[in-house]
């Protein structure tokens, strides 16, 4: 099947959702079936990719010699699987959340969501840098109405930061990097081993890498991370799927892709001008964790945790060994499952109890055992304990860091594990083992609506499942690292 269907399906879905806007039940059915159909399309591509094939499709030739072209390679396959699979779960969750909170403009919400997924698929399957850039920008634009969904002043301000940072970095740095690459390499096609090898000097490579790393603002490398906490004004399903999975993963995915397919791992390993990258990533990991530690707002804490976890992927890629690339690819999926569970739980708490601050959560675990159970699973996976997916990816990254003798990287991973434990465990502890203020006991609340529960249980289960059955993802990651 042509990978173009992966874009066409959600686009068509968006049109149908818009048409069905007046009838909510029909609209939600369309969303769910579009999501299921998309997963089917994506899954149908898996065997060919595992066998070493690269299904491709040309959408249009924009400039002479540069087409909008899709080409499925292992990393993109992995990313698309995660995003499209979680879209189904997230749609179920959205229905519970949006109805539970009586949100306005729900049709616009679902339409933009489908558009964002179409853009995500485009990013995942991009066959060259231009295609990647185009869908990267479309992803930003299609998620903007979701971020500003409520239309309140803080949402507009958040939207400004969101758009300002993402559009700003991508146009000022990423586009410049792409054009520069075109200028010196004469091609923008992704090719294993890189297209810049032997074409750019040491210093130029360092500069180009900086343009890419900071230009891909969605990877939230400090100091361009501010958009992510700002995006938390969005309804929780948006934060869950887009700002824990699709958008941010599009960022780190692009980072890995650029390092593997544009620069080439072996090519970069020989350059000293790129040695700063592990430090930049390490700095972001530690700093973001520290900020998370001090945030009382639950979603903000999760957002900073995401910033920190994203840099794990960048760090892993920056270690420039095959095993670290596997770690990076695995961490994309492991973090996606874990973090979406955490956000689902946060949204469940908001829907059922209307609580947003960490300090309000004492004793809530007894009233919402399923929610907080799922939260605990997500948190443990974030920290990197077995039997959860987070352990797996951290294991690979740590192994690579030790193998290359990067003591700084090792130290960063250890320190951040402690910090992760520091900001997640107290929440779990107080939810289950402390008692809340007496006055709230009277008008108690129960669990969140059923769709929410289903969704968060599914992703929590996925976190465990990925630990025990990583075969598919490992297979794809191995293909990526091995060429």
In the numeric block, the tokens 């501010």 are attached to 226
SS3 59: strand
Q: Which of 29, 56, 180, 410 binds other proteins (CB under 8 A)?
A: 180
* Cβ atoms of 321 and 404 closer than 8 Å: yes
Q: Which is nearer to other proteins, 201 or 407 (CB)?
A: 201
Residues 6+ apart with CB under 8 A from 400: 316, 319, 321, 323, 324, 327
Q: Which is nearer to other proteins, 118 or 409 (CB)?
A: 118
According to CB under 8 A, which residues from 108 to 147 bind other proteins? 130, 133-134, 137-138, 141
CB atoms within 10 A of CB 62: 13
Q: Which of 57, 68, 112, 274 binds other proteins (CB under 8 A)?
A: 68
Whole-angstrom distance, CA of residue 5 vs CA of residue 37? 10
The answer to whether 63 contacts other proteins (rule: CB under 8 A) is yes
Q: Which of 23, 44, 62, 201 binds other proteins (CB under 8 A)?
A: 62
The answer to whether 61 contacts other proteins (rule: CB under 8 A) is yes
* Cβ atoms of 421 and 383 closer than 8 Å: yes
What's the closest the beta carbon of residue 292 comes to other proteins, in angstroms?
29
* Cβ atoms of 49 and 479 closer than 8 Å: yes
Q: Which is nearer to other proteins, 77 or 147 (CB)?
A: 147
Phi, psi of 61 (to 5 degrees): -100, 110
Q: Which of 143, 148, 295, 306 binds other proteins (CB under 8 A)?
A: 148
What's the closest the beta carbon of residue 126 comes to other proteins, in angstroms?
12
Q: Which of 15, 18, 167, 415 binds other proteins (CB under 8 A)?
A: 167
What's the closest the beta carbon of residue 53 comes to other proteins, in angstroms?
27
Question: Which range in 172-180, 360-368, 400-408, 409-417 contacts other proteins by CB under 8 A?
Answer: 172-180
What's the closest the beta carbon of residue 66 comes to other proteins, in angstroms?
9
Whole-angstrom distance, CA of residue 395 vs CA of residue 385? 10
Question: Which range in 7-15, 180-188, 216-224, 353-361 contacts other proteins by CB under 8 A?
Answer: 180-188
The answer to whether 171 contacts other proteins (rule: CB under 8 A) is yes
Alpha helices in 297-442 (DSSP H): 298-318, 322-353, 364-367, 369-383, 389-404, 407-433, 439-442
CA 376 to chain centroid: 20
Q: Which is nearer to other proteins, 133 or 350 (CB)?
A: 133
Phi, psi of 16 (to 5 degrees): -65, -40
Number of chain positions touching other proteins (CB under 8 A): 28
The answer to whether 290 contacts other proteins (rule: CB under 8 A) is no
**How far is CA 69 from each of CA 227, 257, 325, 395, 424, rounded to the nearest angstrom?**
29, 15, 24, 35, 42
Binding site for other proteins (CB under 8 A): 60-64, 68, 130, 133-134, 137-138, 141, 148, 151, 156, 160, 163-164, 167-168, 171-172, 175-176, 179-180, 182-183
């Amino acid at each position: 099947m042509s990978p173009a269907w992966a874009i066409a399906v959600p686009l068509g879905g968006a049109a149908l959702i818009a048409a069905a806007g007046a009838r909510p039940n029909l609209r939600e059915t369309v969303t769910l079936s579009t999501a299921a159909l998309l997963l089917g399309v994506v899954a149908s591509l898996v065997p060919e990719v595992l066998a070493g094939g690269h299904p491709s499709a040309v959408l249009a030739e924009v400039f002479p010699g540069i087409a909008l072209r899709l080409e499925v390679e292992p990393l993109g396959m992995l990313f698309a699987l995660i995003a499209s699979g979680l879209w189904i779960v997230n749609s179920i969750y959205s229905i519970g959340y949006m109805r539970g909170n009586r949100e306005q403009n729900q049709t616009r919400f679902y339409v933009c969501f489908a558009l964002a997924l179409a853009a995500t698929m485009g990013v995942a399957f991009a066959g060259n840098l231009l295609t990647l850039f185009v869908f990267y920008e479309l992803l930003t634009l299609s998620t903007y109405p979701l971020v500003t969904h409520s239309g309140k002043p803080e949402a507009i301000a958040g939207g400004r930061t969101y758009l300002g940072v993402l559009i700003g970095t991508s146009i000022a740095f990423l586009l410049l990097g792409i054009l520069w690459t075109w200028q010196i390499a004469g091609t923008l096609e992704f090719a294993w081993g890189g297209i810049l090898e032997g074409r750019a000097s040491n210093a130029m490579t360092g500069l180009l890498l900086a343009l890419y790393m900071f230009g891909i603002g969605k990877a939230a490398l400090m100091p361009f991370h501010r958009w992510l906490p700002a995006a938390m004004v969005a309804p929780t399903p948006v934060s869950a799927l887009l700002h824990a999975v699709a958008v941010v993963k599009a960022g780190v995915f692009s980072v890995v892709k650029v390092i593997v397919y544009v620069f080439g791992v072996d090519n970069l390993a020989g350059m000293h001008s790129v040695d700063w990258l592990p430090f930049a990533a390490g700095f972001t990991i530690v700093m973001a964790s520290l900020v998370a530690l001090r945030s009382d707002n639950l979603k903000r804490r999760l957002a900073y945790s995401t910033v920190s976890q994203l840099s794990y992927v960048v760090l892993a890629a920056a270690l420039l060994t095959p095993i670290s690339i596997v770690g990076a690819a695995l961490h994309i999926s492991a973090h996606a499952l874990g973090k979406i569970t955490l956000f689902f739980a946060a949204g469940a708490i908001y829907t059922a109890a209307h609580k947003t601050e960490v300090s309000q959560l004492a004793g809530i675990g007894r009233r919402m055992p399923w929610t907080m159970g799922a939260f605990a699973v997500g948190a443990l996976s974030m920290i990197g304990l077995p039997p959860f997916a987070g352990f797996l990816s951290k294991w690979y990254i740590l192994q690579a860091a030790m193998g290359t003798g990067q003591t700084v990287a090792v130290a960063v991973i250890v320190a951040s594990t402690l910090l992760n434990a520091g900001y997640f465990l107290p929440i779990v502890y107080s939810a289950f083992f402390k008692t809340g203020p007496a006055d709230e006991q009277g008008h108690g609340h129960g669990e969140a609506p059923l769709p929410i529960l289903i969704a968060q249980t599914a992703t929590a289960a996925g976190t465990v499942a990925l630990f025990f059955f990583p075969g598919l993802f490992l297979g794809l990651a191995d293909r990526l690292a091995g060429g």
